[in-house]
Amino acid sequence: MALVRTEEPSGDVVAATDLYAHLRVDLIGGATAPDDANDIAALQDSAVGYLDGASGILNRALLTQKWELRLDRFGPCIEIPLPPLQSVDEIRYIDTAGAEQTLPPVDYRVIENGEMPAEVVPAYGASWPSVLSTLQAVTVVFTCGYGDAADIPAPIKQAIKLMVGEWYSKREATVGQPVNELPLGVGALLASFRVG
C-alpha cells in the first residue's frame, strides 16, 4: 500500500489574527502583523504538519486535500484512510491485459463511517474486476478533510494554538531545561480525534 498526496491543502487552520491574540503579540503603529509574522506562520505550519495527513499523529486530514491510495489488488473492502472523507473521485486499475481501466462509480459503494475511515465495497451484485499481478495495480483517488478552517473542530484549533504558543515562547533550546513532547492539555484536546 502507498499513500500519496496529490493536492496540498491551502490556507491556515487558525487565522493569523487569532494566533497573534493567543500569543499576546503587540501590534505596533497599526501594523496588521508583527515583525516575526513569518516565524509564527512557520510554527503553525509545523504544528499542522505534526497533526495532519499520513505522517500526522491524528491520522486524519484537516483542510481539504486530495490523495491517491495505491494497492496491489482489490480486497473484500478498501479502507480509505485520513478521515473525514469528502469523496471517492476515481478508482483506476490495471486489467489482466496490462491496460489501465477506470471502474464505473455504479460498480462500487462508499460506506461513510463518520469520524472513522470510510470503506469502499463492490455494489450489490457486482464484484471487483481481476487485476494484473503487479505492484500498485489499483489506485483510489479521494478527497478528504473537514473543508476549510471554519469546519475544523475547535479542540484541534485550540491544540494548534497551544503548540504554537509553547514553541513561540521557547524558541531557543536551553541546556538543563526539560522539554515536553506536547504542551499541557494538547493530548486531552486531541484524544478523541486520533484514528487508529
- 76 grid coordinates: 473484500
Give pLDDT tens digits for 64-99: 999 999 999 999 999 999 999 999 999 999 999 999
Q: Which positions of the chain have pLDDT values less than 70?
A: 28-31, 172-181
Position 27 scores a pLDDT of 75
Position 169 scores a pLDDT of 85
Position 36 scores a pLDDT of 86
Task: Identify which of 10, 4, 13 has the alpha carbon closest to the alpha carbon of residue 47.
Answer: 13
28 DSSP assignment: P
- 187 grid coordinates: 493530548
Region for residue 58 given its phi and psi (left: phi exceeds 0; alpha: psi -120 to 50; beta: otherwise): alpha
Position 2 scores a pLDDT of 95
Position 7 scores a pLDDT of 96
Position 139 scores a pLDDT of 98
- Beta strands 65-71 and 138-144 are antiparallel
DSSP output for 74-94:
--SSEEE-SSSEEEEEEEEEE
Place of cell 496588521: 32
Domains (range + CATH), the chain: 2-61+149-193 (1.10.3230.30), 65-144 (no CATH)
Q: What is the rounded distance in angstroms from the CA atom of residue 22 to the CA atom of residue 27?
A: 13
